Amino acid sequence: MTASRFGRLTAVCVVFLVCGGAAAEWPEFRGPWGNGLASQVGDSNKIGLPLRWSESENVKWKTAIPHRGWSTPVVFEGKIWLTTATADGREFFVICADADTGRIRLNKRLFTSSNPEPLGNDVNCYGSPSCAVEAGRVYVHFGSYGTACLDTESGEVAWERTDLPCRHYRGPGSSVILFGDYLIVTMDGVDVQYVAALDKKTGRTVWKTDRTADWNDLDGDGKPFSEGDLRKAYSTPLVIDFDGGKQMLSAGAKAAYCYDPATGEELWKISYGCYSGASRPLFGNGLAYINTGFPRPEIWAVRLGGRGDVTDTHVVWKRRQAVPQIPSAVVAGELLFMVSDSGAATCLDAVTGEEVWREHLRGRFAASLLYADGRIYCFDKEGKTFVFAAGREFELLAENKLDSGFMASPAVSGGSLILRTVSDLYRIEKPQGQ
């Protein structure tokens, strides 16, 4: 590694890890570590996220967001970036808001489509993938409808791609992530399924790896499936440190994979019968945690270090009861917390898979969980947020309500929550001195 590159990486780490083990920025879906942690488990420095709020309490600002988008806001250097699209999928926009005031600084149409494929339901939309941001550049993705890199100061497009094939069928869902000099894109459609690395400076394709799932018997009835949901997935990869190097966990339809993110080489995979998975993989306790997807989701804990198909050799435990189909879970030390789409909140022993407790939260959920300062935050489709202790006993700490519901997952900036509802963007924080 050159001295200059080491210096750049060190600077990024300092930005992300100031305030002890807390995240000062939120550069991608699920934050700087990609796992929904706003502070490191066990860190004694509290970041001070509010426990309670409403439309009239602890709202620093509220800004209406046009059109429709489920993408998580990303936050960097005082700017909030998010995507939106017209409900019919014909126009695609990037929005930048001032983190201090909520004022819209940029509302730019990036792409158009004369013939978008109908979604067929209201679960997804055309603006679901989240941006990724770093110093000077923001990367915006709408699946096959377009990918672009913009200068964060001027808003000008540095490069764009509209030639990445994928028939999304029910809209794009996988978010982009940054790895070194690469922008990683995931394209799991009904026609093609692959992951690819783009040069983040130019947008050119550096490597492309096709999924290797067995498509001959997707639904277990002995008949091959040629079209529809059974080949699709919406999950976002996670790059992890393992065995002195980097590996990338990526969940697709009928299989989940571990890749070398530098080359795209497939290292291992596990095979299952599910599809349309949306939850992002997690890593902790030496295990990869994979959500298998629809129609009967399971959480699988997989021991790393294998080669080839490790389904029969490296799966440590499986869990089916009350597993979410869409929301991503959180691993906090040796505990795994998840909430099902219908509101069953569960705490598992992350090492053994044994249930510690389960409670019902009386809501419907799509947004991923957030951990901060020993608390778990859960955001439902009606605008309610449940906050409970991240412990071995269930303790509900607060229940909050905003005017419209959550499809997008939360973001954090210092001691503030950046929340996107169906209609608005909020900055939630305690007044100074409290």
Residues 6 or more apart in contact with residue 374 via CB below 8 angstroms: 389, 390, 391
Q: Residue 14's pLDDT is what?
A: 36
Mean pLDDT of the chain: 92
- Counting Cα atoms < 13 Å in the Cβ hemisphere of 230 gives 15
Q: Residue 258's pLDDT is what?
A: 98
Q: Which two tokens stand for residue 18?
A: 């100031």
Q: What pLDDT digit, counting tens, does each position of 297-339 carry?
A: 999 999 999 999 999 999 999 999 999 999 999 999 999 999 9
Q: Is 100 left (phi over 0), alpha (psi -120 to 50) or beta?
A: alpha
Q: Residue 220's pLDDT is what?
A: 55
Q: Residue 226's pLDDT is what?
A: 54
Which phi and psi (to 5°) does residue 255 adopt?
-165, 155
Three-state DSSP class for 155? Answer: coil
Residues 6 or more apart in contact with residue 172 via CB below 8 angstroms: 126, 128, 129, 141, 142, 143, 144, 145, 166, 234
Q: Residue 6's pLDDT is what?
A: 33
Give the span between the Cα atoms of 245 and 179, in whole angstroms: 13
Give the span between the Cα atoms of 289 and 286, in whole angstroms: 10
Q: State the greatest distance between any 2 C-alpha atoms of the chain, in Å, as a whole number.
A: 65
Q: What pLDDT digit, counting tens, does each position of 371-421 carry?
A: 999 999 999 999 999 999 999 999 999 999 999 999 999 999 999 999 999
Q: Residue 8's pLDDT is what?
A: 37
Domain 3-428 = CATH 2.130.10.10: yes
Report residues of the chain scoring pLDDT below 70.
1-23, 217-227, 433-434
Q: Which two tokens stand for residue 316?
A: 């440590």
CB 367 within 8 A of CB 407: yes
SS3 content of the chain, % helix, strand, coil (to 5): 5, 40, 55
CB 91 within 8 A of CB 109: yes
Residues 6 or more apart in contact with residue 142 via CB below 8 angstroms: 83, 85, 92, 110, 111, 126, 127, 129, 172
Q: Which two tokens stand for residue 139?
A: 């990367």
Q: Residue 279's pLDDT is what?
A: 98
